Amino acid sequence: MKKAYVFPGQGAQFVGMGKELYDASAEAREMFEAANEILGFRITDLMFSGTDEDLRQTKVTQPAIFLHSVILTKTLGADFTPDMVAGHSLGEFSALVAARALTFEEGLILVSKRAAAMQKACEKEPSTMAAIIGLPDETVEAVLGGIYDVVVPANYNSPGQVVISGSEQGVDIACEKLKDAGAKRAMPLKVGGAFHSPLMEPARLELAEAINQASLNTPICPVYQNVNAKAVTDPLQIRENLIAQLTSPVRWTQIMQNMIADGATTFIEVGPGKVLQGLVKKVDRDIEAYSA
């Protein structure tokens, strides 16, 4: 029996997230207060008693989810016994800190820089994302390949669910063509821009500099990375994949399949929300999945 710990990405946030941890654990309080100092603003105020609008700001959302996941991991103590870890998009940074490849401080700094760089890239060009339900991955890829505007697969979330990303016009055209091709639904998403697409290249270049300067250690267990869905333990390879992540698709379906093939029998979601548990069940309904 092997335990796979998985960490959520943007979209899992909610007002009040992390408050129970803060109130219940002195160690958690210390980490939250250290985060306030590192970030230069009291993110705890926004997490615990802000508004939905506050939490939707990329500069708040990403570090908030990271903090919830990483501090929750820390409070698990000896109960945190991973045989493997993975994180969805932003969650990959949480997974790397949990697996001790990155320190808490360096992970938070990188996440903060990632959020700022992505926000800047979003403001450069109007762009968006949409969820496509009910088509094979290959059909989605084939349809997008025939569209001139920028639009690419961004998240392979589960069999029959792919999120696409690109220019507003490209995504609009793709949604119509994918519905014509038999998609059950093509739903525009309320996001700041085209994450995991070529339009994130300015952010990738900016973040690459920070990632190259960060200290990366050998993790305590394999990390299944978004870019190739494979188990990685080499710090140099982890660094390269982390840099490539912003402009590459999140291969979550393949990560789940590979973890299961490598012996994962239980998936534990660490952080806000329960989205990843649902995605695991869509890959294999017999696999055990629950929240930490």
Give residue for tokens 């821009």. 193
Nearest to 267 by CA among 106, 109, 91: 91
Helices (H), the chain: 19-24, 26-39, 43-49, 52-56, 58-76, 91-98, 104-124, 137-145, 168-180, 201-213, 235-244, 252-261, 275-283
Which residue among 69, 196, 197, 248 is the active-site one? Answer: 196
For residues 169 and 153, give the distance between their C-alpha atoms in angstroms, rounded to a whole number.
15
Q: What's the residue count for the chain?
A: 292
What's at 99, amino acid-wise? A
Backbone angle region of 25, left / alpha / beta, with phi > 0 → left and psi within -120 to 50 → alpha: beta
Active site residue 89: yes
CB 287 within 8 A of CB 24: no
Active site residue 88: no
CB 1 within 8 A of CB 266: yes
Q: Which two tokens stand for residue 222?
A: 């394999």
What's at 278, amino acid-wise? G
Distance of alpha carbon 250 from the chain centroid? 8
Which residue among 89, 112, 127, 248 is the active-site one? Answer: 89
For residues 48 and 17, give the distance between their C-alpha atoms in angstroms, rounded to a whole number.
6
Backbone angles phi, psi at 157, to 5 degrees: -80, -40
CB 207 within 8 A of CB 110: yes
Cα separation values, 238 from 102, 137, 216, 258, Å: 11, 26, 8, 17
Q: Which residues are catalytic?
A: 89, 196
